[in-house]
Amino acid sequence: PVSAVDALADLERHLDGETVMTRDDATVDRELAELERAAQKTLDLEELARMRGTEPGARGDAYAAQAYGAKIGAAVAAADAVGERIASGTATGTALPYVPAAGAAASTRAVVSPVTLVVTAFGPVNDVRKAMTPELRGEGHELLLVDLGAGQGRLGGSCLAQVFGQLGDVPPDLDDPKRLANLYDALQDLLVKTKLTAYHDRSDGGLVVTALEMAFASGLGLELDVTAVHVDPFAALFAEELGAIIEVAAADVHQVTAALVNTGARVHAIGRASRGNHVRIAHAGKLVVDTQRTQLRARWSHVTYEIQRLRDDPTCAAEEHATRLDPAAPGLSAHLTFDPNPGPPRDQIPGGPPKKVTSPRVAILREQGVNGQIEMATAFHLAGFEPVDVHMTDLIEGRVDLSDMRGVVACGGFSFGDVLGAGRGWASTFRYNARANAALAAFLARDNTFLLGVCNGCQMLADLADQLPGAAHWPRFVRNRSEQFEAREVMLGIAESPSIFFRGMAGSRIPVATSHGEGRAELAPAQLVAIEQSGLVAARFVDGRGEIATTYPANPNGSPNGIAALTTADGRLTIMMPHPERVFRNVLMSWHPREWTFDRSPWMRMFANARTWVG
């Protein structure tokens, strides 16, 4: 096979204007066969060292690794050069090298396998609110296929070919890079003008899978006709040519089509999303697909489900799969019982007299491994506090004693890597250090202070519950029922409770971020009854209908009765597993209702409540 050095030389000649030698199919097949044999062959370290031109042994292997790293570095540099040529519009093609890799399988053996260089591009996003998702609007909107394949419908290497055990003939290709650049510019312009309501690129599976994924994300049906896409229905539905499906308001179809056709792309009106569960796709006057969306999603999700039930808790896997296949499942939703956008404080109204306000100080507390302090500090700052970065070593060594703080917030993360159990190591720092323990006790003895624990901070404070006034009822938090780390957006229902953080929010249902592996509240039956009777549950996980979530994934950790936040009788102490500080702006949410056009999310009310309580 061609070596990395040879490939780099080819690339260099290409960039300098020389012609890169094209290998015929027989040569490529022979090289692939050699690569396969090399990947299956095991070598002892002496032979591997000889191949690398070094002596065996630790020192020689280290030198080999350095030389090998240099080759990879050269490949990356070559890729950078390609990127520069593409960016300048001077590159008409690229030839990227592959670099073989060797990984030690044992002290005397190594397995050699080829590694492909992956080139990734990044670019700035000026306004994330202009980003498109596959979520469809449906009624009053039309779906357009934007085709950069010039109607060729090439099926080589496609998923359809794989299903039939074939490689296929001609694969899709970027025949004219300029058209791609023009299309990108046109789409950006349409985004700025808010002419697009949904977008999804055509890739694995072709048009039909692209459209279905949009329907799955939206809980809608489809009414499509792909006759104009290609004379062959298989090519129309399954070709993986470059392109996208976009959704456009019916009144904007003509304007959008004209703008996209002007880029050199072909544009076809293919139908629309429909309310309900039905999927109908026609070609040349015949109905080629006539089924239910949930039946197609059952097939689409089947492999995921089978893997999930073997890897995770099988009951959780079954519950999530059942939700996917429920045509009446509402998905995420929201309901507010308060004004989320009341306007600026009186002292900040433009034209009003300046008013000097002393910001109360709040300790943003962290330990080794905690990573949520920046978002937390920002949320409290926006609410009118002066956040102060306090590390546990500041308390232990006496640099900070909390005497001038009105609040202490224990942030989320992974203190001590959770090796002693989530939050337990952090709690032990308080429990077994006299100075830190005394500082916290003196802080809580003042009745004008508050304490908040989020995620890892929640777990830590729960472990200290026996030392916190009014917190004896708090549970320990243990491994999620799913047996997996859960990072997702879920719904949180605010309960009626004394918590100072949730005043005026009871009855609201708000999307929130969760990110934890040990969030299940462990409660004995009698303890659960006592907590429910006390009225000290501050928030619960709820489903899209607003009911208490008892199944996965609406209840991501399996806590009984959906318990997600707890407080004390005086409301000064609150712990919660979800992360409101990660979604204090609407743009930080994975999903929120379209009508939430204001900047700060409803979760800012929680931090503003604390500021109001402090006075």
Domain at 491, CATH number: 3.40.50.880
- Is pLDDT above 80 for 196? yes
pLDDT number for residue 102: 47
Q: Decide if 305 is inside a domain.
A: no
> Residues 135, 210: one domain?
yes
pLDDT band at 2 (very low <50, low <70, confident <90, very high): very low
Mean pLDDT, rounded, for 187-197: 95
> Residues 112, 145: one domain?
no
> Residues 400, 284: one domain?
no
> Residues 557, 528: one domain?
yes
Q: Decide if 324 is inside a domain.
A: no
Mean pLDDT, rounded, for 255-260: 98
- Is pLDDT above 70 for 64? no
pLDDT band at 8 (very low <50, low <70, confident <90, very high): very low
pLDDT number for residue 127: 86
- Is pLDDT above 70 for 386? yes
> Of 165, 168, 162, 232, nearest to 204 (Cα)?
162
Model pLDDT for residues 475-519, shown as the tens digit of each residue: 999 999 999 999 999 999 999 999 999 999 999 999 999 999 999
> Of 231, 243, 132, 234, nearest to 188 (Cα)?
132
pLDDT number for residue 27: 60
Of the two residues 50 and 582, the one the predictor is more confident about is: 582
Model pLDDT for residues 549-558, shown as the tens digit of each residue: 999 999 999 9
CATH value at residue 175: 3.90.650.10
Between 71-80, 295-304, 424-433, the lowest mean confidence (pLDDT) is in 71-80
- Is pLDDT above 50 for 90? no
Of the two residues 249 and 27, the one the predictor is more confident about is: 249
Domain limit, last residue, from 273, 300, 327: 300
Task: Determine the Cα–Cα distance for residues 205 and 210; give it in Å rounded to an integer.
Answer: 7
Q: Decide if 336 is inside a domain.
A: no
Domain limit, last residue, from 85, 116, 147: 116
- Is pLDDT above 80 for 66? no
**Residue 363 is part of which domain span?**
346-614
- Is pLDDT above 80 for 245? yes
Mean pLDDT, rounded, for 116-139: 87
Which residues touch 525 (CB under 8 Å, ≥6 apart)?
none
pLDDT number for residue 343: 55
Q: Decide if 87 is inside a domain.
A: yes
pLDDT number for residue 420: 82
Of the two residues 407 and 1, the one the predictor is more confident about is: 407
pLDDT number for residue 106: 47
Model pLDDT for residues 512-544, shown as the tens digit of each residue: 999 999 999 999 999 999 999 999 999 999 999
> Residues 82, 168: one domain?
no
Which residues touch 494 (CB under 8 Å, ≥6 apart)?
502, 505, 506, 507, 508, 509, 510, 538, 539
Q: Decide if 184 is inside a domain.
A: yes
pLDDT number for residue 272: 97
For residue 220, which amino acid is it? Answer: L
Q: Decide if 487 is inside a domain.
A: yes
Write out the catalytic residue numbers. Answer: 455, 579, 581
Of the two residues 379 and 11, the one the predictor is more confident about is: 379
> Residues 283, 378: one domain?
no
pLDDT band at 128 (very low <50, low <70, confident <90, very high): confident
pLDDT band at 356 (very low <50, low <70, confident <90, very high): low
> Residues 418, 565: one domain?
yes
Q: What is the DSSP letter of 246?
A: E
> Residues 430, 357: one domain?
yes
Mean pLDDT, rounded, for 557-578: 98
Q: Decide if 337 is inside a domain.
A: no
Domain limit, last residue, from 70, 86, 116: 116
- Is pLDDT above 90 for 37? no
According to DSSP H, which parts of 432-567 are helical?
A: 434-445, 456-463, 525-534
- Is pLDDT above 90 for 117? no
Q: What is the DSSP letter of 566?
A: E
Please state the domain count of the chain.
3
In which region does residue 319 sit, left (phi positive, over 0), alpha (psi from -120 to 50) or beta (all else)? alpha
> Residues 49, 147: one domain?
no
Task: Please state at what angle helix 604-614 crosses helix 373-382, rounded to 10 degrees.
Answer: 60
> Residues 94, 149: one domain?
no
Q: Under a CB-based contact definition with an 8 Å cutoff, are residues 577 and 565 in contact?
A: yes
> In the predicted model, what is the mean pLDDT of the chain?
85
Of the two residues 24 and 120, the one the predictor is more confident about is: 120
- Is pLDDT above 90 for 355? no
pLDDT number for residue 31: 54
Q: Under a CB-based contact definition with an 8 Å cutoff, are residues 389 and 377 in contact?
A: yes
For residue 382, what are the CA distances in angstroms to 344, 410, 585, 603?
Answer: 11, 18, 11, 12
pLDDT band at 130 (very low <50, low <70, confident <90, very high): confident
> Residues 513, 551: one domain?
yes
- Is pLDDT above 90 for 23? no
Q: Decide if 250 is inside a domain.
A: yes
pLDDT number for residue 539: 98
Edge-to-edge strand list for the sheet holding 278-283: 198-201, 243-249, 141-147, 266-274, 221-225, 278-283, 286-292
> Residues 394, 520: one domain?
yes
- Is pLDDT above 50 for 274? yes
